[in-house]
Amino acid sequence: MRVLYIYSDWKWTGPSQPIVELCDYMSKHADVAILTSTPKNLERSLTSHIESKKIKITTTLIKRGGIVGFFKNRESIKQCIREFQPDIIHTFRENDLASLAGDLRQKLIVFTDFAVDLPGFLRRTIWRKADVITTFSKKISEILSPKLGNVVHINNWLNMKAIVQTPHNVSVSNEFMTTNKSFIIGIVMRLQPYRRFDLVIETAKCIKASGKNIKFLILGRGKAGIVKQLKESSEKFGLSDTIIFGGYRKADYWDIINCFDVMFYTMPGSDGTARALRQCQAMGKPIICLKNDFLQEIVHDKVDGFVVGEEPDEIAYSIYRLYDNKNLHSEFSKNSLQQGFSYSLEKVGEEILHLYEERLHLKKG
């Protein structure tokens, strides 16, 4: 079996990580090639994270280029298909799916949707080019399966071996001026206005007024102007000792995640994969998240966390319940860890492999 993965980007990001991990896993079971965009920075490229030496890598796609780029990518894809002769073509962007051309009747076309929102008419029209559509949302699968007939729900996947379980790191606590007694509410997100930082501010006000030793620790990068604005907002309300900005971390990322007692998650980013949330679950962190159709599929209210509304008092109360009740915190941690294991690359990868084999057999009759 020969599998070609197509992804017209080059950066190592939330959606590119599972693509690379799937390529590495599938290379143990099939001949694998990946076609991506030309890297502008090799160190930050997704191809630099590919571990398997058996994967054929081609980087001739254009990430953005309008209609001209679309037709250039179409030719690059056709050439790659001619050279590699895949049985299966797996795409992750509508533009790449739409770019497929030529006689592909003997090829199994798979499309994975990262967006986890209901597609409009144009997107659904493009999806019809695929023989199989996989989505991370059960709700989308249930709604679209009767209409399109080929929509399958699968869990997003994580390489559990890459998730480093570390003991509490005292140097991290010292850096952020916390102590072992501080209760850390972790937030991991790109600092963007729509990610509801206003709720963090208002909730932090409630917590500071309570006198409880609770801190918010925020990891993530953002445009300098936005980061400056958020820090100024925090200082304006006297929250500098309650809201700590950790910036973008790489070398000690897992050390810092392990210092979290709870994760607070407002809403998925633009790709919808909720990677940081799922990583925290895989490390046994209870989750407090806002009400959201997709998030409520992976965070189970009063089981492995709390699903809350947008009232700061309600968010703060959920935090207090875990702060004050160690047994509840421990129970939620165990359940969150169990949910995290459902994302195992070995488990989900095997499901995708079986999906390939089954649908390819049906395709070829």
pLDDT tens for residues 149-163? 899 999 999 998 888
Q: Which two tokens stand for residue 323?
A: 């702060």
pTM equals 0.89
Q: Which two tokens stand for residue 229?
A: 């604005």
User: How far is 323 from 216, CA to CA, in rounded Å?
Assistant: 13
pLDDT at 286 over 70: yes
- pLDDT (0 to 100) of residue 25: 97
Q: Which two tokens stand for residue 198?
A: 């206003």
Average pLDDT over residues 81-98: 96
Element (H, E) at 188: strand 183-188
pLDDT at 168 over 80: no
User: How far is 254 from 218, CA to CA, in rounded Å?
Assistant: 14
pLDDT at 272 over 80: no
Average pLDDT over residues 69-95: 96
User: How far is 159 from 59, CA to CA, in rounded Å?
Assistant: 24
- pLDDT (0 to 100) of residue 173: 57
pLDDT at 147 over 90: no
Domains recognised in the chain with CATH numbers: 2-157+344-364 (3.40.50.2000), 161-341 (3.40.50.2000)
pLDDT at 60 over 80: yes
How far apart, in Å, are the Cα atoms of 359 and each of 87, 180, 355, 356? 11, 52, 6, 5
pLDDT in tens, 216-270: 999 988 788 888 888 888 899 999 889 998 888 888 888 889 889 999 999 877 6
User: How far is 51 from 37, CA to CA, in rounded Å?
Assistant: 18
Please return the burial class of 186, using the count of CB atoms within 10 Å of its CB with bins 0-12, 13-18 and 19+: buried
String of DSSP letters for 7-53: ES--B--TTHHHHHHHHHHHTTTSEEEEEEEPPS-GGGBSGGG---T
- pLDDT (0 to 100) of residue 192: 75
CB 306 within 8 A of CB 331: no
As a whole-number percent, the residues of the chain with pLDDT over 90 amount to 69
Kindly state the DSSP code that residue 100 receives in the 8-state scheme: -
In three-state secondary structure terms, 359 is helix
pLDDT at 169 over 60: no
The pLDDT-based confidence of 177 (bands split at 50, 70, 90) is low
**Residue tagged 């509410």 (tokens):** 185
Please return the burial class of 363, using the count of CB atoms within 10 Å of its CB with bins 0-12, 13-18 and 19+: middle
Give me the residues paired with residue 73 across strands: none
190 vs 210, higher pLDDT? 210
Q: Which two tokens stand for residue 82?
A: 């001619």
Q: Which two tokens stand for residue 223?
A: 């445009």
Cα-based angle 169, 170, 174 (whole degrees, multiple of 5):
125
In three-state secondary structure terms, 59 is strand
**Residue tagged 């941690």 (tokens):** 333
245 vs 84, higher pLDDT? 84
Q: What are phi and psi of 2, to 5 degrees?
A: -120, 125
- pLDDT (0 to 100) of residue 167: 57
User: How far is 265 from 262, CA to CA, in rounded Å?
Assistant: 10
pLDDT in tens, 70-82: 999 999 999 999 9
Alpha helices in 30-128 (DSSP H): 66-84, 94-99, 121-127
| Spacing of C-alpha 73 from chain mean position | 26
- pLDDT (0 to 100) of residue 196: 86
Q: Which two tokens stand for residue 30?
A: 């099939």
pLDDT in tens, 301-359: 999 999 999 999 999 999 999 999 999 999 999 999 999 999 999 999 999 999 999 99
Phi-psi region of 310 (alpha: psi -120 to 50; beta: other; left: phi over 0): alpha
User: How far is 21 from 52, CA to CA, in rounded Å?
Assistant: 10
pLDDT at 133 over 90: yes
269 vs 190, higher pLDDT? 190
Q: HEC profile for 206-269?
A: HHHHHCCCEEEEEECCCCHHHHHHHHHHHHHCCCCCCEEEEECCCCCHHHHHHHCCEEEECCCC
The pLDDT-based confidence of 106 (bands split at 50, 70, 90) is very high
As a whole-number percent, the residues of the chain with pLDDT over 70 amount to 95
Kindly state the DSSP code that residue 117 receives in the 8-state scheme: S
Burial 280-310 (b: 16+ CB within 10 A, else e): bbbbbbbbbbbebebbebbbbeeebbbbbee
Average pLDDT, the chain: 91
